Structure 1
Amino acid sequence: MHPQFPIRLLSARPLAPTVYHYVFERSDGDALDFVPGQFIQLHFEYADGTAAKRSYSLATQHDHALGPGEAVEFAVSFVPGGRATALFENLAVGDTVFCSGPYGRFVLDATDRNARYLLIGTGTGITPYRSMLPQLAALMAERGVQVHLLQGARTGAELLYADEFTAFAAANPLFHYHPCLSRETTEFTAPNVTPIHGYVQQALDAIKPDAATDIAYLCGNPNMVDACFTDLKDRGLSTRYIRREKYVSNV
């Protein structure tokens, strides 16, 4: 059982019409030893005193334990009428909430010897991949691994962290960013950025998954995760090399 610890709000900014990026710091003097891809759980109470918790993948980009004063970052989707949403809407800079963790095994494996990573996500399911960027940069430099990031959204305004992924693609020739928009088309002129029109689960043909070279990560909407999992299995990828994390909206 992980003990709870306090984090203090430093700032918040909008990422999309219904998603905010929050920056906290751990305020009890201890470190937060996490691996990119893991999540923390926020603990709070409903108005009637019932205990509740919500899980949020860390977006923080560090390759070491987070010490006092270092950022604890994650993205939050606002759900109309949601109780956790109400909590975040009422948070002010300096306020403290309690968390536990980190948890999860949706992480890069140091023993992997694949030629490509296929990172596929929708909504806030893209958050773990932001956290992994420093690790991916090291892997590209050390063993020449290629990375294809497919990010699904309805419109360009809903592409979380798109500016960061675009800049990362421009700086790293082995990183390929594919924004997949289901309700509009958009132009990208940045290097290594190739937009795809349609749902992200329909975009696999564009990157030609190969069982001999690829390891895939799937994170976000459960329907997307299930569809991509089935597709990748049908293309010959072993279930060992299809790593999944489903995001379910909580109110």
Structure 2
Amino acid sequence: MVFILSSFIALLTLAWGLAASVDGGGGASLPWLIREQALYLSGVLGIGLMSLAMVLATRPAALERPLGGMDRIFRLHKWAGILAAVFAALHWLIEMSDDLLESAFGKTGQVPEAHFGALLENLRDAGEELGEFAIYLVLGMIILSLWKRFPYKFWRYLHRAMPVLYLLLAFHAAVLAPPDYWARPIGWLMGGLLAAGAAASVLALTGRIGRDRRVSGVVSSVASPAPDITEVTCRLDAGWKGHRAGQFAFIGFDRIEGAHPFTIASADRGDQTVTFEIKALGDYTRRLATRVAVGQPVTVEGPYGRFVLERQDRNARQIWIAGGIGITPFLSWLDALRAAPDSAAQAELHYSTRNASHDPFVERLQRLCGRLPSVELHIHDTSAGATLTPEQLAASLPQAGRTEVWFCGPRPFGDQLEAGLAAIWGRRLRFRREAFEMR
């Protein structure tokens, strides 16, 4: 992710630099010239990154392979949006700095004001007003996105306003960009990004995101294996093309509420059925058990993701680690391996749970792994003090060669394991994880 964003920012900066190098500045003094070019650069970076975020918000399945999965696309979308807001805020601050420069250097040496026809002048005035208004709202949206205590159900509705705000900012960028930009690489690049971002906004506003991967179905069973777990099985229409073990999908029970992403916890048996194990982690999921009934219509969009069994490195030791509801992709893996137990790779499966005696997945894991001799199950009951640590894993494989760790669970837990194992095993470690954060 860091490489992609850095490369994207570098490309935009290079295009701006090429344009700035041929701009004589019209006799402006250095402080005012620096302000003008900083204003342009911050604007280019802000709207460029926001265009990227808008395109990634359309859930482009074609980019899953090069970008590593839809979970990473969501993470890239999030950070592109955050950086866009940072540069937008910087752009606004630079715009407001004219009074400070006047007090320090006087009005002498200001960049000569360009004059345009009446129509373009009116458009530029409108673009400036709308852009300032949209920047305030975008900054507020980013703050709410980062404030985890802000209820997700409200955040989702506010987030739907982003395409409109983007279109306002795209208009601002198009009419206020220097006219000579459009005859240079910076203009060609910005034109393409603005067109792509506008198209993505239209897709979002018309409800067409993911439509070609969306199928209808009905709820065939609902169960509560534990007070905070709702198990929902859906029978889907013929449009469902199946899934690979470990993928996720967006499931919607209510048109107003919209769809939410959950990992598919069952293998693809070719019978158009999918099962989800949904943990009560918020208002929506806590009420789900009482709001879903057998026979209820459902829509499922997907599948997405590359946290899949087929991507294992057969020449590396396999360690699978799950924390809490992060066990769901591994349930799907084990379910898929039941059909061909002899093909299962040697693996250690570590499941960390808060209370093993009350965890409905423990017995299921024991049953599934009992039929797969090559998968060695380890249950870590944190209520009994059995916390999984990097040192424990390293001690169990003192002579480890190349090792591939697959992790799904709470991010702090994953960060601790990844950092600890990397320090012990170094380049012998490949740590794969599901970056499953939708906000």
Task: Please give the TM-score of this superposition, normalised by the length of structure 1.
Answer: 0.77
Contact 1:119 1:149 survives alignment (8 Å):
yes
Please state which structure has a larger fraction of its residues in helix. Answer: 2
Q: Look up the match of 1:97.
A: 298
Q: Look up the match of 2:420.
A: 231
1:111/1:155 Cα in 2 relative to 1: closer, same or farther (>3 Å)?
Answer: closer
Q: Is residue 2:240 matched to residue 1:38?
A: no
CA distance in 2, matches of 1:20, 1:154: 18
Contact 2:317 2:346 survives alignment (8 Å):
yes
1:139/1:94 Cα in 2 relative to 1: closer, same or farther (>3 Å)?
Answer: closer
Shift of 1:106: 0.7
1:114-133 to structure 2, matched below 5 A, reads 114-133=315-334
Q: Is residue 2:259 matched to residue 1:57?
A: no
CA distance in 1, matches of 2:234, 2:311: 28
Contact 1:43 1:52 survives alignment (8 Å):
yes
1:86/1:32 Cα in 2 relative to 1: closer, same or farther (>3 Å)?
Answer: farther
Q: Which has the larger Rg? A: 2
Equivalent in 370, 387, 393 of residue 198 of structure 1: 387
Deviation per CA, 1:213-240: give whole Å up to 9, x if none: 4211000111111111212222325498
1:1-251 to structure 2, matched below 5 A, reads 1-3=209-211, 4-26=214-236, 28-43=237-252, 49=256, 52-62=258-268, 66-67=270-271, 70-79=272-281, 82-110=283-311, 112-136=313-337, 141-142=342-343, 145-184=345-384, 197-199=386-388, 203-205=392-394, 207-208=396-397, 212-236=401-425, 238=427, 241-247=430-436
Deviation per CA, 1:42-98: give whole Å up to 9, x if none: 24668xx5x643211111123x6x44xx32101011236x12433442111100122
Q: Look up the match of 2:184.
A: none
Contact 1:9 1:23 survives alignment (8 Å):
yes
Deviation per CA, 1:118-138: give whole Å up to 9, x if none: 110112110111111155467
CA distance in 1, matches of 2:427, 2:340: 22
Q: Which moved more, 1:167-176 or 1:123-132?
A: 167-176
CA distance in 2, matches of 1:30, 1:75: 23
1:208/1:183 Cα in 2 relative to 1: closer, same or farther (>3 Å)?
Answer: same
Structure 2 residue runs without a partner (length 5+): 1-208
1:217/1:91 Cα in 2 relative to 1: closer, same or farther (>3 Å)?
Answer: same
Q: Does 1 or 2 have the higher relative contact order (CA < 8 Å, sep 6+)?
A: 1
1:245/1:238 Cα in 2 relative to 1: closer, same or farther (>3 Å)?
Answer: farther
1:7/1:233 Cα in 2 relative to 1: closer, same or farther (>3 Å)?
Answer: farther
Contact 1:44 1:53 survives alignment (8 Å):
yes
- Structure 1 counterpart SS, 2:231: strand
Please state which structure has a larger fraction of its residues in strand. Answer: 1
Contact 1:221 1:246 survives alignment (8 Å):
no
Structure 1 residue runs without a partner (length 5+): 186-196
Shift of 1:37: 0.7
Q: Look up the match of 1:191.
A: none
Q: Which moved more, 1:70-79 or 1:241-250?
A: 241-250
1:244/1:236 Cα in 2 relative to 1: closer, same or farther (>3 Å)?
Answer: same
CA distance in 2, matches of 1:172, 1:30: 32
How many correspondences in the alignment?
229
CA distance in 1, matches of 2:340, 2:420: 26
1:238/1:106 Cα in 2 relative to 1: closer, same or farther (>3 Å)?
Answer: farther
1:227/1:132 Cα in 2 relative to 1: closer, same or farther (>3 Å)?
Answer: same
Task: Please give the TM-score of this superposition, normalised by the length of structure 2.
Answer: 0.46
1:106/1:33 Cα in 2 relative to 1: closer, same or farther (>3 Å)?
Answer: same
